[in-house]
Structure 1
Amino acid sequence: MLRVLGLTLLLTLSGYAIAEPIADTHSEMSGCESCHVDSEPSADLDYENGACVECHGFLKEFADETHQKHFEILACSDCHLAHDEANPNDSCAKCH
């Protein structure tokens, strides 16, 4: 499991992979409730970002420097678009 997660992270950060929507993979595991209260997004996405941290940990705990540098600066949803196919590197262009 950790090898798969590491490889996925490496490919995602390298920009070589266009990721399928995060929502697709998460809903396959445990439904919309894995990220949302009553299957509906919250207005400010605080609940959803908390769900990310609950499963994946805080950004400072990630092995890669990119996530660590953004701890307490960005929320998961600032870069990861849960319901869209996206190249994660496109999120960087918003600020950099």
Structure 2
Amino acid sequence: MITVHLRYEINANKLADFEEYGRRWIHLVNRLGGEHHGYFLPSEGDSDEAFALFTFPSFADYEKYRSAAAADPECIEAVQFATQTDCIRRYERRFLSPMFE
């Protein structure tokens, strides 16, 4: 199992646009074989930092998702939306192996 942790630096003035972007990707990750654990938006503290977590059964499954997403019209539209609204300044992606009790 592999969990993807995304840290976003967002445009705090475009939070509603980032929320829309997140809603789209929750649906898309789930549709393309992952399990999305949600977006975590600013509440208190830094107003320009957000996070997302989603899991795939394996890194190979994640790679299949990446290939499928690159050609998927809804995924392409979601990326274009973020670009057009300028709601994301930058992001970092980390791969984690979850540990459970």
TM-score (norm. length: structure 1): 0.28
Select the structure that is richer in helix. Answer: 1
